[in-house]
Amino acid sequence: MYILVNLFVLFLFHSRTAAQNCSVMACSSSSSIPIRFPFHLEGSQQPESCGYPGFSLSCDDRGRTILRLPHSGEFFIREINFPMQQILLHDPGDCLPKRLLELNLSGSPFLATIYENYTFLDCPMKLTNSAIGCLGNSTHTVLASSNESFVRSMALVCRVMVSRPIPISWPVQYYQGPSDYLNQDLQLSWFTPDCIDCEMKGGACGFASNGSQDIGCFSIPAIDRASKGLLVFRIICLTIALPAIISSIGIGVFICSKHQRRSRNGANNSLQSTDPAAVIPQPSILTVGLDESTIESFTKIVLGESLRLSGPNDNICPICLAEYQPKEILRCIPECTHCFHAECIDEWLKISSMCPVCRNSPSPVPPDDT
């Protein structure tokens, strides 16, 4: 057994040295956006060959991460979801609808997953509801809607500016107003290079060798001799003991989190608590669940008759495996847009902060770029 493990370790070390010397970069020390393969930070100590063509990023002087699209200019990156191969962008000028009107993704590796036909209307009056504030002025209001009957009724007083497919990040049911959600961040996906399997395994994706266009999957970087033991432990977990460990840890976390919630409710200074549960070290991949106000802040939707749910969702709740029915209440995790029956996901999030499908942790507070 140990011979096998050691061979595997040697293999990992070997593939690490064959891989390129690509450190993970970030635009500032407080940035939550790691820049690593397929992305590459321009002008940094990362050699250009550390990134895939089309994935160059830069930083502004306030430490924000910038993506420049060949035909559509610069966007700020809010988040990069490596396992899902998605990026979340926002407009430096805070007027995403305007940018969406001009968006041309050709020449970039990024694609929008959902398009919806939108009509932009210029109305000679002040409307506050569902207006795109940044496109209007003191006497005119700009509206955008995908609802044809709404557009027809408004066209009596408003001028139709343009009608065209607009990339949207969220299915229509998520938001009520006809325009305001064009102001949400823009989510784009990439499909090449395909590192999904590698990311899911916690590996480091990269070019297989210098000068090659083939993609390889390497061990997590920064393995030194001190953490060799940890690596062996990981390998044992991955190959043999994973199912057993997961179930026992799951039970442990459930008990711990119940404990912690109870002690959090009881006394605020739980750090000084002598509760024995507080000193049990927890493996770093595990986090306890979210509190109820955070869970409650995630979008809830009521399914319509059409059962239309886009994004990464199909019509089955991944937790209870039951098919969705009209009028059922779903809750979606904002970061990854995975949706579930509200009653299923609420229970889950109380004991685990990870999305059950993609294992991303939803952050309680949206990242702030100031």
Residues of this chain that interact with ligand NAG (CB under 6 A) are 21, 23, 71, 104, 106, 115-117, 122, 137-140, 147, 149-150, 153, 165, 210-211
Q: How far is Cα 318 from Cα 297, in angstroms, rounded to an integer?
A: 21
Q: How far is Cα 33 from Cα 52, in angstroms, rounded to an integer?
A: 17
Q: How far is Cα 26 from Cα 227, in angstroms, rounded to an integer?
A: 24
CB nearer ligand NAG, residue 62 or residue 152:
152
CB nearer ligand NAG, residue 222 or residue 244:
222
CB nearer ligand NAG, residue 18 or residue 244:
18
Least separation in angstroms between CB 178 and ligand NAG: 7
Terminal CA-CA length for the chain: 52
Least separation in angstroms between CB 153 and ligand NAG: 6
Treating both helix axes as pointing N-terminal to C-terminal, what angle do 242-266 and 342-351 enclose, rounded to 10 degrees?
A: 90
Query: Do the Cβ atoms of 313 and 339 come closer than 8 Å?
Result: yes
CB nearer ligand NAG, residue 142 or residue 253:
142
Token pair recorded at residue 214? 């083939």
Q: How far is Cα 166 from Cα 205, in angstroms, rounded to an integer?
A: 32
CB nearer ligand NAG, residue 204 or residue 358:
204
CB nearer ligand NAG, residue 139 or residue 269:
139
The CA–CA distances, whole Å, from 275 to 152, 168, 191, 284, 370 equal: 64, 48, 48, 20, 38
The CA–CA distances, whole Å, from 241 to 12, 199, 248 equal: 20, 21, 11
Least separation in angstroms between CB 105 and ligand NAG: 8
> Phi and psi (nearest 5°) for 59?
-120, 150
Least separation in angstroms between CB 116 and ligand NAG: 6
